[in-house]
Protein backbone atom coordinates (compact mmCIF):
# COMPACT_ATOMS: atom_id res chain seq x y z
CA UNK A 1 0.00 0.00 0.00
CA UNK A 2 1.58 3.23 -1.17
CA UNK A 3 1.16 6.84 -0.26
CA UNK A 4 -0.50 9.64 -2.22
CA UNK A 5 1.18 13.04 -2.00
CA UNK A 6 -0.40 16.11 -3.56
CA UNK A 7 1.86 18.94 -4.75
CA UNK A 8 0.02 22.26 -4.55
CA UNK A 9 0.63 25.99 -4.16
CA UNK A 10 -2.45 28.09 -4.82
CA UNK A 11 -0.57 30.57 -6.97
CA UNK A 12 0.35 29.59 -10.49
CA UNK A 13 3.86 29.62 -11.85
CA UNK A 14 5.76 28.88 -8.65
CA UNK A 15 6.82 25.45 -9.90
CA UNK A 16 4.25 22.85 -8.90
CA UNK A 17 4.66 20.78 -12.04
CA UNK A 18 8.46 21.04 -12.06
CA UNK A 19 8.53 20.04 -8.40
CA UNK A 20 6.17 17.11 -9.01
CA UNK A 21 8.23 15.87 -11.94
CA UNK A 22 11.53 16.14 -10.09
CA UNK A 23 10.40 14.74 -6.76
CA UNK A 24 8.70 11.86 -8.57
CA UNK A 25 11.77 11.15 -10.65
CA UNK A 26 14.06 11.38 -7.63
CA UNK A 27 11.88 8.92 -5.71
CA UNK A 28 11.90 6.58 -8.70
CA UNK A 29 15.68 6.86 -9.04
CA UNK A 30 16.04 5.74 -5.44
CA UNK A 31 14.26 2.52 -6.40
CA UNK A 32 10.68 3.28 -5.44
CA UNK A 33 7.79 2.60 -7.77
CA UNK A 34 6.25 5.98 -8.51
CA UNK A 35 3.22 7.17 -10.44
CA UNK A 36 2.88 10.82 -11.36
CA UNK A 37 -0.76 11.82 -11.64
CA UNK A 38 -1.49 15.02 -13.55
CA UNK A 39 -4.82 16.49 -12.44
CA UNK A 40 -4.46 19.76 -14.33
CA UNK A 41 -7.10 18.74 -16.86
CA UNK A 42 -7.18 20.98 -19.91
CA UNK A 43 -3.76 22.49 -19.16
CA UNK A 44 -1.56 19.45 -18.84
CA UNK A 45 2.18 20.10 -18.67
CA UNK A 46 3.67 17.24 -16.71
CA UNK A 47 3.95 15.04 -19.80
CA UNK A 48 5.88 17.80 -21.58
CA UNK A 49 8.36 18.26 -18.71
CA UNK A 50 8.94 14.50 -18.66
CA UNK A 51 9.26 14.33 -22.45
CA UNK A 52 6.42 11.83 -22.75
CA UNK A 53 3.92 13.92 -24.68
CA UNK A 54 4.12 11.85 -27.87
CA UNK A 55 3.42 8.58 -26.07
CA UNK A 56 0.02 9.48 -24.65
CA UNK A 57 -2.78 7.20 -25.84
CA UNK A 58 -5.33 7.32 -23.03
CA UNK A 59 -5.62 9.87 -20.25
CA UNK A 60 -7.04 10.37 -16.75
CA UNK A 61 -10.56 11.14 -17.99
CA UNK A 62 -10.58 7.98 -20.10
CA UNK A 63 -9.76 6.04 -16.96
CA UNK A 64 -12.40 7.70 -14.76
CA UNK A 65 -14.98 7.25 -17.50
CA UNK A 66 -13.84 3.63 -17.73
CA UNK A 67 -13.07 3.81 -21.41
CA UNK A 68 -9.81 2.02 -20.68
CA UNK A 69 -8.00 0.22 -17.90
CA UNK A 70 -5.54 2.13 -15.71
CA UNK A 71 -2.78 -0.10 -17.02
CA UNK A 72 -3.48 1.07 -20.55
CA UNK A 73 -3.35 4.75 -19.66
CA UNK A 74 -0.16 5.05 -17.69
CA UNK A 75 3.10 5.62 -19.51
CA UNK A 76 6.42 4.23 -18.40
CA UNK A 77 9.26 6.76 -18.47
CA UNK A 78 11.85 6.19 -21.15
CA UNK A 79 14.86 6.42 -18.86
CA UNK A 80 13.50 5.25 -15.56
CA UNK A 81 11.82 1.86 -15.22
CA UNK A 82 9.98 2.54 -12.00
CA UNK A 83 8.52 5.92 -13.03
CA UNK A 84 5.06 6.12 -14.57
CA UNK A 85 2.87 9.00 -15.66
CA UNK A 86 -0.91 9.10 -15.79
CA UNK A 87 -1.51 12.15 -17.97
CA UNK A 88 -4.43 14.58 -17.75
CA UNK A 89 -6.82 15.09 -20.64
CA UNK A 90 -6.11 18.11 -22.76
CA UNK A 91 -9.44 18.35 -24.56
CA UNK A 92 -11.70 18.41 -21.47
CA UNK A 93 -11.85 20.73 -18.47
CA UNK A 94 -11.82 20.41 -14.68
CA UNK A 95 -15.50 19.44 -14.53
CA UNK A 96 -14.77 16.18 -16.39
CA UNK A 97 -13.95 14.47 -13.08
CA UNK A 98 -15.17 14.76 -9.51
CA UNK A 99 -13.63 14.23 -6.09
CA UNK A 100 -15.12 10.76 -5.74
CA UNK A 101 -13.59 9.54 -8.99
CA UNK A 102 -10.16 10.87 -8.06
CA UNK A 103 -10.40 9.33 -4.61
CA UNK A 104 -11.10 6.01 -6.30
CA UNK A 105 -8.27 6.50 -8.80
CA UNK A 106 -5.64 7.38 -6.19
CA UNK A 107 -6.75 4.43 -4.08
CA UNK A 108 -6.32 2.14 -7.11
CA UNK A 109 -2.89 3.60 -7.88
CA UNK A 110 -1.79 3.32 -4.26
CA UNK A 111 -2.37 -0.43 -4.50
CA UNK A 112 0.17 -0.67 -7.31
CA UNK A 113 2.78 1.99 -6.44
CA UNK A 114 4.92 3.05 -3.50
CA UNK A 115 4.25 6.74 -4.16
CA UNK A 116 1.53 8.52 -6.10
CA UNK A 117 2.54 12.13 -6.73
CA UNK A 118 -0.49 14.26 -7.62
CA UNK A 119 0.23 17.43 -9.58
CA UNK A 120 -2.46 19.91 -8.59
CA UNK A 121 -3.78 22.74 -10.78
CA UNK A 122 -3.37 26.36 -9.63
CA UNK A 123 -6.24 27.95 -7.75
CA UNK A 124 -8.46 26.73 -4.95
CA UNK A 125 -11.51 25.77 -6.98
CA UNK A 126 -12.84 22.42 -8.08
CA UNK A 127 -9.64 21.22 -9.74
CA UNK A 128 -7.77 21.79 -6.49
CA UNK A 129 -10.48 20.17 -4.35
CA UNK A 130 -10.49 17.13 -6.64
CA UNK A 131 -6.71 16.78 -6.57
CA UNK A 132 -6.61 17.02 -2.78
CA UNK A 133 -9.47 14.56 -2.26
CA UNK A 134 -7.41 11.40 -2.47
CA UNK A 135 -4.17 12.66 -0.94
CA UNK A 136 -2.63 11.36 2.27
CA UNK A 137 -0.03 14.08 2.48
CA UNK A 138 0.52 17.48 0.91
CA UNK A 139 3.54 19.40 -0.27
CA UNK A 140 3.01 23.13 -0.58
CA UNK A 141 5.35 24.86 -3.03
CA UNK A 142 6.04 28.55 -2.61
CA UNK A 143 8.60 30.92 -4.01
CA UNK A 144 10.00 33.38 -1.47
CA UNK A 145 7.85 36.33 -2.55
CA UNK A 146 4.89 37.86 -0.77
CA UNK A 147 2.23 37.05 -3.36
CA UNK A 148 3.13 33.35 -3.42
CA UNK A 149 3.30 33.21 0.37
CA UNK A 150 -0.21 34.71 0.75
CA UNK A 151 -1.62 32.05 -1.56
CA UNK A 152 0.38 29.26 0.09
CA UNK A 153 -0.98 30.40 3.44
CA UNK A 154 -4.52 30.29 2.12
CA UNK A 155 -3.94 26.82 0.68
CA UNK A 156 -2.49 25.53 3.96
CA UNK A 157 -5.61 26.81 5.72
CA UNK A 158 -7.84 24.96 3.27
CA UNK A 159 -5.74 21.79 3.51
CA UNK A 160 -6.08 21.87 7.28
CA UNK A 161 -9.84 22.20 6.86
CA UNK A 162 -9.90 19.31 4.36
CA UNK A 163 -8.02 17.27 6.95
CA UNK A 164 -4.92 16.62 4.90
CA UNK A 165 -2.47 16.23 7.76
CA UNK A 166 0.50 18.56 8.20
CA UNK A 167 1.40 20.03 4.83
CA UNK A 168 5.15 20.33 4.22
CA UNK A 169 6.77 23.30 2.53
CA UNK A 170 9.13 23.43 -0.42
CA UNK A 171 10.64 26.86 -1.03
CA UNK A 172 11.31 27.02 -4.75
CA UNK A 173 13.23 29.50 -6.89
CA UNK A 174 15.38 30.61 -4.00
CA UNK A 175 18.11 33.16 -4.81
CA UNK A 176 20.68 33.55 -2.02
CA UNK A 177 22.20 36.57 -3.72
CA UNK A 178 18.87 38.44 -3.79
CA UNK A 179 18.25 37.63 -0.14
CA UNK A 180 21.61 39.14 0.71
CA UNK A 181 20.66 42.32 -1.14
CA UNK A 182 17.35 42.45 0.71
CA UNK A 183 15.25 41.93 -2.41
CA UNK A 184 13.89 38.55 -1.40
CA UNK A 185 12.56 36.97 1.77
CA UNK A 186 14.81 34.54 3.59
CA UNK A 187 13.69 30.96 4.15
CA UNK A 188 13.33 31.60 7.89
CA UNK A 189 10.93 34.47 7.26
CA UNK A 190 8.81 32.31 4.96
CA UNK A 191 8.63 29.57 7.57
CA UNK A 192 7.80 31.99 10.38
CA UNK A 193 4.78 33.23 8.41
CA UNK A 194 3.53 29.88 7.15
CA UNK A 195 4.31 27.97 10.36
CA UNK A 196 4.76 24.58 8.69
CA UNK A 197 7.66 22.15 8.47
CA UNK A 198 10.23 22.75 5.76
CA UNK A 199 10.80 19.91 3.34
CA UNK A 200 13.47 21.59 1.27
CA UNK A 201 14.80 24.65 -0.48
CA UNK A 202 15.41 24.57 -4.23
CA UNK A 203 17.69 27.23 -5.69
CA UNK A 204 16.65 29.18 -8.76
CA UNK A 205 18.59 27.80 -11.69
CA UNK A 206 18.38 28.30 -15.44
CA UNK A 207 19.29 24.67 -15.87
CA UNK A 208 15.91 23.65 -14.44
CA UNK A 209 14.16 25.51 -17.26
CA UNK A 210 16.58 24.13 -19.85
CA UNK A 211 16.03 20.59 -18.62
CA UNK A 212 12.26 21.05 -18.74
CA UNK A 213 12.61 22.36 -22.27
CA UNK A 214 14.36 19.19 -23.30
CA UNK A 215 11.86 16.98 -21.51
CA UNK A 216 14.37 15.62 -19.02
CA UNK A 217 13.82 16.51 -15.35
CA UNK A 218 16.84 18.19 -13.80
CA UNK A 219 17.28 15.37 -11.25
CA UNK A 220 18.95 13.25 -13.92
CA UNK A 221 21.91 15.65 -13.82
CA UNK A 222 23.87 14.41 -10.84
CA UNK A 223 26.04 17.46 -10.22
CA UNK A 224 23.44 20.20 -10.41
CA UNK A 225 22.60 21.95 -7.10
CA UNK A 226 18.84 22.10 -7.76
CA UNK A 227 18.93 18.40 -8.66
CA UNK A 228 20.67 17.68 -5.35
CA UNK A 229 18.01 19.69 -3.54
CA UNK A 230 15.26 17.65 -5.20
CA UNK A 231 16.99 14.38 -4.38
CA UNK A 232 17.31 15.48 -0.75
CA UNK A 233 13.59 16.29 -0.70
CA UNK A 234 12.87 12.79 -2.00
CA UNK A 235 15.02 11.32 0.77
CA UNK A 236 13.22 13.40 3.40
CA UNK A 237 9.87 12.18 2.05
CA UNK A 238 11.10 8.66 2.73
CA UNK A 239 11.81 9.61 6.32
CA UNK A 240 15.54 10.21 6.18
CA UNK A 241 17.04 13.13 8.06
CA UNK A 242 19.08 15.14 5.58
CA UNK A 243 20.65 18.50 6.41
CA UNK A 244 19.78 21.47 4.21
CA UNK A 245 22.14 22.11 1.31
CA UNK A 246 24.40 25.11 1.63
CA UNK A 247 23.00 27.18 -1.24
CA UNK A 248 25.25 30.17 -0.97
CA UNK A 249 28.37 29.38 -3.05
CA UNK A 250 30.34 32.23 -1.50
CA UNK A 251 29.62 31.18 2.03
CA UNK A 252 30.64 27.66 1.13
CA UNK A 253 34.03 28.84 -0.10
CA UNK A 254 34.47 31.10 2.88
CA UNK A 255 33.61 28.23 5.17
CA UNK A 256 36.13 26.01 3.43
CA UNK A 257 38.79 28.71 3.78
CA UNK A 258 38.02 28.99 7.46
CA UNK A 259 38.37 25.25 7.75
CA UNK A 260 41.76 25.37 6.08
CA UNK A 261 42.88 27.87 8.64
CA UNK A 262 41.49 25.69 11.38
CA UNK A 263 38.83 28.16 12.46
CA UNK A 264 35.75 26.05 11.86
CA UNK B 1 -52.04 40.60 -3.13
CA UNK B 2 -49.66 43.46 -3.32
CA UNK B 3 -51.85 45.59 -1.11
CA UNK B 4 -52.06 42.89 1.47
CA UNK B 5 -48.29 42.74 1.58
CA UNK B 6 -48.08 46.43 2.18
CA UNK B 7 -50.52 46.12 5.03
CA UNK B 8 -48.25 43.55 6.58
CA UNK B 9 -45.49 46.10 6.40
CA UNK B 10 -43.46 44.62 3.58
CA UNK B 11 -40.85 47.05 2.37
CA UNK B 12 -39.97 47.19 -1.27
CA UNK B 13 -36.30 47.96 -1.55
CA UNK B 14 -34.49 47.88 -4.90
CA UNK B 15 -37.08 45.55 -6.31
CA UNK B 16 -36.38 43.01 -3.60
CA UNK B 17 -39.06 42.01 -1.14
CA UNK B 18 -37.80 42.34 2.39
CA UNK B 19 -39.66 40.77 5.24
CA UNK B 20 -40.65 43.27 7.89
CA UNK B 21 -38.18 43.54 10.73
CA UNK B 22 -40.99 43.77 13.26
CA UNK B 23 -44.18 41.80 13.05
CA UNK B 24 -46.91 42.46 15.62
CA UNK B 25 -49.67 40.00 16.43
CA UNK B 26 -52.48 40.22 18.90
CA UNK B 27 -53.00 37.06 20.94
CA UNK B 28 -54.94 36.13 24.03
CA UNK B 29 -51.79 36.26 26.11
CA UNK B 30 -50.97 39.76 24.90
CA UNK B 31 -49.20 41.50 22.07
CA UNK B 32 -46.69 39.31 20.29
CA UNK B 33 -43.70 41.16 18.82
CA UNK B 34 -41.86 38.98 16.30
CA UNK B 35 -38.44 40.49 15.60
CA UNK B 36 -36.88 39.25 12.38
CA UNK B 37 -33.64 37.40 13.08
CA UNK B 38 -32.14 37.83 9.63
CA UNK B 39 -31.91 41.63 9.75
CA UNK B 40 -29.32 43.53 11.78
CA UNK B 41 -30.68 44.17 15.22
CA UNK B 42 -30.11 47.92 14.90
CA UNK B 43 -32.38 47.94 11.82
CA UNK B 44 -34.99 45.97 13.69
CA UNK B 45 -34.81 48.40 16.59
CA UNK B 46 -35.24 51.45 14.38
CA UNK B 47 -38.22 49.82 12.74
CA UNK B 48 -39.64 49.03 16.16
CA UNK B 49 -39.05 52.63 17.17
CA UNK B 50 -40.92 54.00 14.18
CA UNK B 51 -43.79 51.61 14.81
CA UNK B 52 -44.05 52.53 18.48
CA UNK B 53 -43.85 56.23 17.74
CA UNK B 54 -46.45 55.88 15.03
CA UNK B 55 -48.43 58.86 16.36
CA UNK B 56 -51.79 57.14 16.44
CA UNK B 57 -53.45 56.23 19.69
CA UNK B 58 -53.12 52.59 18.71
CA UNK B 59 -50.86 51.99 21.64
CA UNK B 60 -52.91 53.83 24.24
CA UNK B 61 -55.30 51.80 26.29
CA UNK B 62 -55.31 49.41 29.19
CA UNK B 63 -52.17 47.67 30.36
CA UNK B 64 -51.09 45.13 27.80
CA UNK B 65 -48.69 42.27 28.14
CA UNK B 66 -45.90 42.25 25.57
CA UNK B 67 -44.26 39.03 24.49
CA UNK B 68 -41.09 39.46 22.46
CA UNK B 69 -39.85 36.69 20.19
CA UNK B 70 -36.32 37.09 18.86
CA UNK B 71 -36.22 34.08 16.54
CA UNK B 72 -32.81 32.41 16.71
CA UNK B 73 -31.08 35.66 17.59
CA UNK B 74 -29.43 36.25 20.93
CA UNK B 75 -28.90 39.82 22.04
CA UNK B 76 -26.48 41.60 24.32
CA UNK B 77 -27.40 43.34 27.53
CA UNK B 78 -26.98 46.72 25.85
CA UNK B 79 -29.30 45.72 23.05
CA UNK B 80 -31.87 44.57 25.57
CA UNK B 81 -31.60 47.87 27.44
CA UNK B 82 -32.13 49.79 24.23
CA UNK B 83 -35.15 47.69 23.36
CA UNK B 84 -36.70 48.12 26.80
CA UNK B 85 -36.13 51.86 26.53
CA UNK B 86 -38.20 51.95 23.35
CA UNK B 87 -41.08 50.14 24.99
CA UNK B 88 -40.89 52.36 28.07
CA UNK B 89 -42.27 55.26 26.01
CA UNK B 90 -45.67 53.62 26.39
CA UNK B 91 -46.44 53.09 30.03
CA UNK B 92 -49.20 50.58 29.33
CA UNK B 93 -46.94 48.19 27.43
CA UNK B 94 -45.45 45.80 29.93
CA UNK B 95 -42.76 43.46 28.75
CA UNK B 96 -43.70 40.06 30.03
CA UNK B 97 -41.19 37.84 28.32
CA UNK B 98 -38.31 37.84 25.86
CA UNK B 99 -37.71 34.53 24.14
CA UNK B 100 -35.68 32.88 21.43
CA UNK B 101 -37.20 30.21 19.22
CA UNK B 102 -34.64 27.51 19.94
CA UNK B 103 -34.97 27.61 23.69
CA UNK B 104 -31.56 29.18 24.31
CA UNK B 105 -31.30 32.10 26.71
CA UNK B 106 -32.03 35.35 24.90
CA UNK B 107 -28.94 37.06 26.31
CA UNK B 108 -25.56 36.35 24.85
CA UNK B 109 -23.58 35.42 27.86
CA UNK B 110 -20.50 37.52 28.26
CA UNK B 111 -17.79 35.10 27.31
CA UNK B 112 -15.21 37.04 29.27
CA UNK B 113 -11.71 36.48 28.02
CA UNK B 114 -11.37 33.38 25.95
CA UNK B 115 -8.11 31.66 25.10
CA UNK B 116 -7.73 30.13 21.66
CA UNK B 117 -4.70 28.70 19.90
CA UNK B 118 -3.76 28.24 16.26
CA UNK B 119 -2.77 30.25 13.26
CA UNK B 120 -5.34 32.45 11.53
CA UNK B 121 -4.31 32.05 7.90
CA UNK B 122 -5.07 34.06 4.80
CA UNK B 123 -8.78 33.94 4.03
CA UNK B 124 -9.77 32.75 7.50
CA UNK B 125 -11.87 34.76 9.93
CA UNK B 126 -11.83 34.31 13.68
CA UNK B 127 -14.88 35.91 15.27
CA UNK B 128 -15.49 36.24 18.96
CA UNK B 129 -17.76 37.93 21.45
CA UNK B 130 -15.94 39.46 24.38
CA UNK B 131 -12.19 39.65 24.86
CA UNK B 132 -9.95 37.29 22.99
CA UNK B 133 -6.50 35.94 23.76
CA UNK B 134 -5.04 34.22 20.74
CA UNK B 135 -1.94 32.08 21.22
CA UNK B 136 -0.68 32.02 17.65
CA UNK B 137 -0.17 34.18 14.60
CA UNK B 138 -2.56 36.12 12.43
CA UNK B 139 -1.17 35.99 8.90
CA UNK B 140 -1.63 38.59 6.18
CA UNK B 141 -5.09 38.16 4.70
CA UNK B 142 -6.42 36.65 7.93
CA UNK B 143 -8.96 38.46 10.12
CA UNK B 144 -9.64 38.51 13.84
CA UNK B 145 -12.81 40.23 14.97
CA UNK B 146 -14.18 40.60 18.46
CA UNK B 147 -16.61 42.77 20.35
CA UNK B 148 -14.02 43.36 23.06
CA UNK B 149 -10.24 43.60 23.08
CA UNK B 150 -7.86 41.39 21.14
CA UNK B 151 -4.60 40.14 22.58
CA UNK B 152 -2.29 38.13 20.36
CA UNK B 153 0.60 36.15 21.83
CA UNK B 154 2.30 35.86 18.46
CA UNK B 155 2.65 37.95 15.37
CA UNK B 156 -0.30 40.01 14.22
CA UNK B 157 0.30 40.47 10.49
CA UNK B 158 -3.29 40.44 9.28
CA UNK B 159 -6.37 42.46 10.13
CA UNK B 160 -7.66 42.89 13.67
CA UNK B 161 -10.97 44.50 14.53
CA UNK B 162 -11.59 45.10 18.22
CA UNK B 163 -14.74 46.60 19.69
CA UNK B 164 -16.72 45.34 16.73
CA UNK B 165 -19.99 46.60 18.18
CA UNK B 166 -18.78 50.06 18.99
CA UNK B 167 -16.72 49.54 22.13
CA UNK B 168 -14.22 52.39 21.88
CA UNK B 169 -12.38 51.25 24.99
CA UNK B 170 -11.22 48.06 23.28
CA UNK B 171 -7.51 47.64 22.56
CA UNK B 172 -5.45 45.44 20.28
CA UNK B 173 -2.19 44.11 21.68
CA UNK B 174 0.27 41.74 20.07
CA UNK B 175 3.73 40.34 20.77
CA UNK B 176 4.68 41.69 17.38
CA UNK B 177 2.28 44.17 15.91
CA UNK B 178 2.75 44.35 12.15
CA UNK B 179 -0.86 44.42 10.98
CA UNK B 180 -2.07 45.09 7.46
CA UNK B 181 -4.92 47.03 9.03
CA UNK B 182 -6.32 47.79 12.46
CA UNK B 183 -9.90 48.63 13.34
CA UNK B 184 -11.26 49.69 16.69
CA UNK B 185 -15.01 50.31 16.92
CA UNK B 186 -15.73 52.27 13.73
CA UNK B 187 -12.22 53.60 13.12
CA UNK B 188 -9.97 52.09 10.48
CA UNK B 189 -6.22 52.60 10.43
CA UNK B 190 -3.46 51.49 8.16
CA UNK B 191 -0.10 51.33 9.87
CA UNK B 192 2.23 54.00 8.57
CA UNK B 193 5.27 52.78 6.68
CA UNK B 194 7.70 53.66 9.44
CA UNK B 195 6.24 50.83 11.51
CA UNK B 196 8.38 48.45 9.44
CA UNK B 197 9.83 45.35 11.06
CA UNK B 198 12.79 47.30 12.40
CA UNK B 199 10.92 50.38 13.68
CA UNK B 200 8.69 49.48 16.59
CA UNK B 201 10.16 46.73 18.70
CA UNK B 202 8.80 44.80 21.64
CA UNK B 203 5.23 44.40 22.68
CA UNK B 204 2.84 47.11 21.55
CA UNK B 205 -0.85 47.84 21.72
CA UNK B 206 -3.24 49.96 19.70
CA UNK B 207 -6.03 52.05 21.23
CA UNK B 208 -8.47 54.71 20.27
CA UNK B 209 -7.75 58.33 21.19
CA UNK B 210 -9.68 61.33 19.82
CA UNK B 211 -11.19 59.22 17.10
CA UNK B 212 -7.82 57.98 15.89
CA UNK B 213 -5.92 54.79 16.44
CA UNK B 214 -2.62 55.22 18.24
CA UNK B 215 0.07 52.67 19.03
CA UNK B 216 2.13 52.66 22.15
CA UNK B 217 4.48 50.47 24.14
CA UNK B 218 2.83 47.96 26.41
CA UNK B 219 4.22 49.51 29.60
CA UNK B 220 2.31 52.71 28.84
CA UNK B 221 -1.02 50.91 28.94
CA UNK B 222 -1.58 51.73 32.59
CA UNK B 223 -1.52 55.47 31.83
CA UNK B 224 -4.27 55.04 29.28
CA UNK B 225 -6.29 52.51 31.24
CA UNK B 226 -5.62 53.41 34.89
CA UNK B 227 -8.86 51.74 35.94
CA UNK B 228 -7.40 48.31 35.31
CA UNK B 229 -3.96 49.08 36.67
CA UNK B 230 -2.44 46.61 39.01
CA UNK B 231 -2.00 48.26 42.41
CA UNK B 232 -0.27 46.48 45.26
CA UNK B 233 -1.03 42.91 46.08
CA UNK B 234 -4.74 42.44 46.68
CA UNK B 235 -4.23 39.14 48.45
CA UNK B 236 -1.60 40.25 50.94
CA UNK B 237 -3.13 40.89 54.30
- The structural domains of chain B, ordered by start, are 2-99 (3.30.750), 113-228 (2.160.20.70)
User: Which pLDDT band holds residue B80 (cuts at 50, 70, 90)?
Assistant: confident
B154: chain A residues, CB-CB within 8 Å: none
Select the residue of A154, A160, A195 nearest B122 (Cβ to Cβ).
Answer: A154
User: Searching chain A, which residue's CA lies closest to the CA of residue B137?
Assistant: A193
What residues in chain B have their Cβ under 8 A from chain A's Cβ atoms? 119, 121-124, 137, 139-142, 155, 157
Phi, psi of B34 (to 5 degrees): -100, 115
- Residue B60 to chain A, least CA–CA distance (Å): 56
Q: By the CB < 8 Å criterion, does A156 face chain B? A: yes
Domain that holds residue A88: 3-260
Q: Which residues are B125's β-sheet partners?
A: B143
A142: chain B residues, CB-CB within 8 Å: none
Q: Is the pTM of this model over 0.80?
A: no
Name the domain count of chain A: 1
Q: How far apart are CA A65 and CA A53, in angstroms?
A: 21
Is the CB of residue B166 less than 8 Å from the CB of residue B186? yes
Q: Which residues are B128's β-sheet partners?
A: B146
Q: By the CB < 8 Å criterion, does A153 face chain B? A: yes
Q: By the CB < 8 Å criterion, does A154 face chain B? A: yes
CB contact under 8 A, B124 and A157: yes
Q: What is the pLDDT of residues A89-117, one digit of tens each?
A: 999 888 899 999 999 999 999 999 999 99
Predicted pLDDT of residue B2: 42
CATH of the domain at A16: 3.40.50.300
Query: Quick one: DSSP state of residue A216?
Result: -
Reported ipTM: 0.76
Average pLDDT over residues B218-230: 84
DSSP structure string for chain B: -HHHHHHTT-EEETTEEE--SEEEEE-SSSEEEEE-TTS-HHHHHHHHHHHHT-SSGGG-SS-EEEEEE-TT--B-HHHHHHHHHHHTTSTTEEEEEEE-TTSS-SBPPP--EEEEES-B-TT-EEEESSEEEEES-B-TT-EEEESS-EEEEEEE-SEEEESTTS-TT--EEEEEE--SEEEETTEEE---GGGTTTTS-S-EEEEEETTEEEEEEGGGHHHH-GGG---S-TT--
User: Searching chain B, which residue's CA lies closest to the CA of residue A152?
Assistant: B122
CB contact under 8 A, A150 and B124: no
- Residue B95 to chain A, least CA–CA distance (Å): 45
> How many angstroms separate the Cα of A151 from the Cα of each of A11, A187, B24?
6, 16, 50
CB contact under 8 A, A151 and B140: no
- Residue B140 to chain A, least CA–CA distance (Å): 7
Q: What is the pLDDT of residues A242-256, one digit of tens each?
A: 888 887 666 666 667
Q: How far apart are CA B166 and CA B164, in angstroms?
A: 6
Question: If DSSP codes are grouped into helix, strand and coil, which group holds residue A61?
Answer: helix
The crossing angle, in degrees rounded to 10, of helices A126-133 and A99-112 is 30
Residue A120: which residues within 8 A CB-CB, separation 6 or more?
Answer: A6, A7, A8, A9, A16, A39, A40, A127, A128, A131, A132
Select the residue of A146, A156, A192 nearest B121 (Cβ to Cβ).
Answer: A156
Q: Is the dihedral of CA B43, B45, B48, B52 positive or negative?
A: negative
Q: Is the pLDDT of residue B58 over 80?
A: no
Predicted pLDDT of residue A4: 96
Q: How far apart are CA A232 and CA A188, in angstroms?
A: 19
B144: chain A residues, CB-CB within 8 Å: none
Residue B117: which residues within 8 A CB-CB, separation 6 or more?
Answer: B134, B135, B136
Q: What is the pLDDT of residues A12-35, one digit of tens each?
A: 999 999 999 999 999 999 999 999
Select the residue of A153, A160, A195 nearest B122 (Cβ to Cβ).
Answer: A153
Q: What is the pLDDT of residues B123-146, one digit of tens each?
A: 999 988 889 999 999 999 999 999
Amino acid sequence: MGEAIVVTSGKGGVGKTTTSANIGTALALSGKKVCLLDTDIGLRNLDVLLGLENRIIYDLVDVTEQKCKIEQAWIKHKRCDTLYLLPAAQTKDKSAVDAKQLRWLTAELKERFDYVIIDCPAGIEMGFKNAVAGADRAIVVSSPENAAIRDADRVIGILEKERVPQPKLVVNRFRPQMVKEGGMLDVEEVISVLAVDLLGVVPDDEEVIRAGHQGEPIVFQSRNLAAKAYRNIARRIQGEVVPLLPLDPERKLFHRMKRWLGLA
Amino acid sequence: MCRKHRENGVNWIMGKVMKPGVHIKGTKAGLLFLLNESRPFSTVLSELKSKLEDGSNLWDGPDTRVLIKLGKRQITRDEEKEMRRLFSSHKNLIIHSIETSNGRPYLVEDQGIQILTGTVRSGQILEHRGDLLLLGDVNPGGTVRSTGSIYVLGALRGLAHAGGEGDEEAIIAASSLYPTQLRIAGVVSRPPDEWGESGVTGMNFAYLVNGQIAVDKMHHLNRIRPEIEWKGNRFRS
